[in-house]
Structure formats: C-alpha cells, structure tokens
Amino acid sequence: MNRPFRKTSAGLEEPRGRKHPGAAWLAGPYLLWALAFTVIPLVLIFWFGFTNADNQFTWSNLTSIGDPDNLKALALALLLATAATILCLLLAYPIALILAGLKSGSSALIAMLFILPMWMNFLLRTIAWQNLLENNGVINTILKFFHLPAMTLINTPGAVILGMVYNFLPFMILPIYTVLSKIDREVVMAARDLGAGPWQTFARITLPLSKPGVISGITMVFVPSLTTFVITDLLGGGKIQLIGNTIEQEFVQGSSWHVGSGLSIVLMIFVIASMALIAKYDPDSSGAVIGGQR
C-alpha cells in the first residue's frame, strides 16, 4: 500500500549514513533479550518436544495430538477461537467505522472508552465476568429479583467466547480504525463522483482498502483466543477443555514437559498455518501486485 517515494540525490547524504564504529553494540541488549527470552525457550521447547524422559529422540509427543481427548480440545479451541474472532470482527468494524468518521477530538475520547478496560489487569477483568455470570452471580440475582428463571451462564462455551471477545475486542478495533482513518476522504469522494452509491462505495472501496487492518485484527484476536487457558479456567470452570488447558496441565500438574512441549509445537504449526491461510487471501501481502499479476 505504500506510495513510492521518488528518490532524489540519495547519494549526497553519505556522511550521515556512515556507521559509527560502536553502533553495532547498540543492538547488543536486544540480541541478549531475544536470545534469553525467545531463542533459548524455543530451543528448549523443541528439545523437550522431540525427546522422551530418557532424552531419546521420539515423535510420540507430537503424535499425542492424535489422542481423542487432545484432538477434541484442539478442535474445540479452533471452533471457539474462530467464533470469537468472527464476533469481534462484526462488533469492531462498525465501531471502527464510526470512530474514523468522527472529528479527531471526539474520536480520541471514544477510542479511549474502548481502550480503558485494557488498563486493568486481564485476570481481574475475567474474574469480574466470573462474578457476573456465576449461578449466584450478579446477572442471576437480578433475574431472580424480577422473578425470572435463572440461567446457566458460567461454564458454557458461550461464556468462554464472551471472555475472549471482551478481552480481545480492542485488538480488533485498533488496527481497523487505524487503517480506516488513513483512507483519504477524497478517495471516497471520487468513488461517489464516479456514480457509486454509499453502499457500493463501502463494498468496493472502503472495505477492500481496510483489508490490511482486518487481517492484523484477525491475527491479534485469533492467536491469543486459540492458545488461551486463563479464560477457559475462569469462565469454563474445568468443563471446557481447550488445547491451551491441556498444555497448561501437562506443564503445571507435572504430567510431562515432553508431551506439553510436543503439543505446543503442534499448536504453533496450526497458528502458522492459519496465518498462511489468511495471507493467501490477501493479495497485497504477496507483493506480486506491480507486475500486472492479479
């Protein structure tokens, strides 16, 4: 989407571009950080994932995904994460559209309203929902007050999806809002000028131009939803078992770090595969747009 910048006399500013001899050391802390918190843990996960208790190579940790319980947990995680992502998208797009259409002052205020909950602790927010949804919780107390039948809200897939949507909605709104607010008002005017009505303009211009925001929003909601275990623990009450919970239990309840790591690798493969699938439907990121390929 980037506009080409015409380069003028680029070579003239050479003194600025010359590197300070010590400049490479500035990257040192970051390298150290990446090594300590990304590379080493990854290596460890792969080590545990491909070995058994006797430190011998094995595929069995990875193939344990074939276990019916694990397979069910993965399928359910994919299902709930997909549902949460779709709900987030349906909620976030209109909100982002309204925000982008507002004057800068009021849009900042309303954007703040959506971001504000993020300033509170994630765990706290989810526990708050637990209190709201519980069988003797706030909602059922209100229902009882009006002599309405109580509802089972907690420990259902719906409660888990609600928790995902509530927690991850801002991650969908923000990228879409950012992309929408960058669309030139005159581009939309041009579409209207060429005969498109408001809906046609939205479908043919605004929506396609906002695709990068939608895609990063989907990524930012789908991945944490797929891997979550905290939301399921608090709002699923042990009745909803997602792959994230299975992995957590393998580690925390001391069953097997090897199996836990193996399942983590499988989950990583699913995340990468779903990202690749999204990228496939996004011709802009393929970079083949210039040469006339569609």
Partner 1 sequence: MSDKLISIKNISKSFDEIPVLEKLNLYIRENEFLTLLGPSGCGKTTLLRILGGFEEPDTGRILFEGKDITALAPNKRPLNTVFQKDTLFYHMSVADNIAFGLKIKGKSKTYIQDRVHYALHLVGLDGFGERFPDSLSGGQAQRIQIARAIVNEPKVLLLDEPLSALDLKLRQDMQYELIRLKEELGITFIYVTHDQEEALTMSDTIVVMNGGRIQQIGTPEDIYNEPQNAFVADFIGDGNIFDAIMIKDKLVRLLGAEFECVDTGFGEMNPVDVIIRPEDVEIVSPEQGTITGVVTSVIFKGVHYEMDILAHNYHWTAHSTKMAPEGETVGIRIDPFNIQVMNKPIREDQETLVNE
Q: How far is the CB of 44 from partner 1 (least distance, A)?
A: 43
Site residues for partner 1, 157-196, by CB under 8 A, read 184, 186-187, 189-196
Q: Which of 127, 230, 268, 284 binds partner 1 (CB under 8 A)?
A: 284
Would you give the DSSP letter of residue 119?
G
36 or 187: CB nearest partner 1: 187
Which residue type does 153 have?
L
Nearest by Cα to 180 from 253, 254, 93, 277: 93
1 or 272: CB nearest partner 1: 1
3 binds partner 1 (CB under 8 A): yes
How many residues of this chain interact with partner 1, rule: CB under 8 A? 28
Using CA atoms in the order 125, 131, 133, 135, what is the torsion angle rounded to 10 degrees? 160
200 binds partner 1 (CB under 8 A): yes
137 or 212: CB nearest partner 1: 212
Site residues for partner 1, 210-249, by CB under 8 A, read 211
Q: How far is the CB of 181 from partner 1 (least distance, A)?
A: 16
Using CA atoms in the order 256, 261, 263, 266, what is the torsion angle rounded to 10 degrees? -160
φ, ψ at 52 (rounded to 5°)? -105, -175
Q: How far is the CB of 201 from partner 1 (least distance, A)?
A: 8
- 135: part of which helix (H) or strand (E)? none
Residue 234 burial by Cβ neighbours in a 10 Å radius (0-12, 13-18, 19+): buried
Tokens found for residue 60 = 């069995």
54 or 184: CB nearest partner 1: 184
105 binds partner 1 (CB under 8 A): no
Question: For the chain, how are helix, strand and coil distributed in percent, rounded to 5?
Answer: 75, 0, 25
- CA geometry: angle at 12 spanning 9 and 14, to 5°? 135
204 or 239: CB nearest partner 1: 204
Q: How far is the CB of 95 from partner 1 (least distance, A)?
A: 23
279 binds partner 1 (CB under 8 A): no
Only one of the segments 85-93, 167-175, 205-213, 273-281 lies at the binding site for partner 1 (rule: CB under 8 A); that segment is 205-213
H helix runs in 149-210, sequence order: 157-182, 185-193, 198-201, 207-209
148 binds partner 1 (CB under 8 A): no
Task: Please name the residues in contact with 141: beta carbons below 8 A apart, sequence gap of 6 or more.
Answer: none
101 binds partner 1 (CB under 8 A): no
Tokens found for residue 117 = 């909950």
List interacting residues with partner 1 (CB under 8 A).
Answer: 1-4, 6, 184, 186-187, 189-197, 200, 204-205, 208-209, 211, 284, 289-290, 292, 294
